[in-house]
Structures are given as structure tokens and as C-alpha cells.
Amino acid sequence: MKILIIGGSGGIGQALIKEALQRFEGANIYATYHKNKPQWNLPCLTWLPLDATNENQIFKLSQKITDLDLLINSIGFLHSPSQLPEKSVQQFDVDFFQQNLSLNTLPTLLLAKHFQSAFKNAGNQSRFAVFSARIGSISDNRLGGWVSYRSSKAALNMAIKTISIEWQRTVKNVCLFAFHPGTTDTELSKPFQHNLKPQQLQTAKHTAEAFFDVCGQLTSADSGCFVDYQGNSITW
């Protein structure tokens, strides 16, 4: 089994690697980092540097890994050291918006473009899981706010739905889906955790376990779905 985890250095990404190591004995796991290379190594784990906004780097990675059973994109962006998500459109900032798009939307499109043939080569059932967020659902939006993050995840969801329809004709062995992990204790959620009740915040380990439970239930017939950590469908 071959697994590639994009954003393996993230809070959820590292937990996904640990969970995959336990569940899939003998699997080859490739994991990418961008700025922070984790300091743990194992014979079946290969760390690879990647800027997932750079098409040439994704292309080169796809030349290195030519067949895949599971591709997970767990990178994402919500805030920077100087900027939190917008409470009002009056705080909208072009650079911040473009950063959201380039980290939350663009990488999945580039990965789909360049890893399509890796799924074809895998033969059996393959999965391409993308970490989205419930907040990217248009029909579920009751609070407003966070306009750049919401818009970039909504665009990501549209990309997933669109590509899944195309692949149902051309790469029939793949299940491409959007996954909502639930609020998880990582750097991404840190600035917003103070308002939460303890039961509203999951550990990354719990999220990774839930992810693999849900992922294991899905087949290519489910391609194009948007599901949460309990396996429940989320409306677009």
C-alpha cells in the first residue's frame, strides 16, 4: 500500500501519519512538510519537502510517486502571525484573501491534475481525501464572518465536486472526497479555542482515528461526497 500525506508536518497531518503506521503495517508512507520538518524517522516513512502552491514541485513529486492507494491533502491556512480571519468585510484584505486561496484551494487542483495517472496506475480502489471544513458549506452558513477562509473552502468544495464528476467517467477506481475534521487542537485552531467547551475540541489523534474509520467506509461510488468525522454527510 502506498500513502502520500500532503501537510504531514501539520497538527492533523502528523496524527494521520501515526495512525496510518498503526493501521497499515508494511505500507510505504510518504509525507510532505513545507517549513517545519518533523524530527522523527522510520524506515517506512519518507519525508519530502514541498511547497504545494508551486506547480513544478507538485509535478516533480508526481514523477517520483507514480502509483498511489491513498492521497491525503491536509494542508490549510486560517490565520497568519499578523492577521486573523475577518469579523467583517471591512477587514477584507487582498493579500490575505489570496493567501487563503493559494493554500486552501489551489493545492488540491494541482494535486488532482498531476496525480490523476497515479490513481490509474494503482489499479484497485484508490482514495483522494481532502481536508475541507464545514465552514465552507454555503447552505450551512448561519453566522457569517471569516469571509476569506469560507470562500476558499467553498471554492475547494466546488473543485472536488467538479473533478469527481469528471473522474467518474475517466478514473473510475478513485473516491475523491471532502472531509471535515471537526475542531481539532492544532496551531490552526489555537487562537479560537478559548471560547470552546472541552468537549468541542478534539485531539489530533481522535481526528486521525475518525478520518481513517470514515475513509475506510467509502468506495468509488461515494466519490464527490462531503463528510464529517462522524461519517455524516454535509450539505454543500
Ligand X SMILES: NC(=O)c1ccc[n+]([C@@H]2O[C@H](COP(=O)([O-])OP(=O)(O)OC[C@H]3O[C@@H](n4cnc5c(N)ncnc54)[C@H](OP(=O)(O)O)[C@@H]3O)[C@@H](O)[C@H]2O)c1
Q: Which residues bind ligand X (CB under 6 A)?
A: 7, 9-13, 33-36, 50-53, 74-76, 103, 131, 133, 181, 183-184, 186-189
Nearer of residues 12 and 112 to ligand X, judged by Cβ: 12
The dihedral through the CA atoms of 165, 163, 7, 82 has a sign that is negative
3-state helix, strand, coil split of the chain in percent (to 5) is 45, 20, 35
Nearer of residues 50 and 174 to ligand X, judged by Cβ: 50
Minimum distance between the CB of residue 117 and ligand X, rounded to whole angstroms?
21
Minimum distance between the CB of residue 232 and ligand X, rounded to whole angstroms?
15
| Cα–Cα distance, 48 to 51 (Å, whole number) | 10
Residue whose C-alpha cell reads 473522474 in the numeric block: 167
Residue 141 exposure: Cα atoms within 13 Å on the Cβ side: 16
Nearer of residues 131 and 212 to ligand X, judged by Cβ: 131
Minimum distance between the CB of residue 120 and ligand X, rounded to whole angstroms?
25
Q: What count of other Cβ atoms lies within 10 Å of the Cβ of residue 225? A: 18
Provide the terminal-to-terminal Cα distance of the chain, rounded to the nearest Å. 32
Nearer of residues 52 and 155 to ligand X, judged by Cβ: 52
Nearer of residues 12 and 214 to ligand X, judged by Cβ: 12
Minimum distance between the CB of residue 205 and ligand X, rounded to whole angstroms?
12
Minimum distance between the CB of residue 112 and ligand X, rounded to whole angstroms?
16
Q: Residue 206 corresponds to which cell in the numbers above?
A: 481522535
Q: What count of other Cβ atoms lies within 10 Å of the Cβ of residue 212? A: 18
Per DSSP, 85 falls in state P
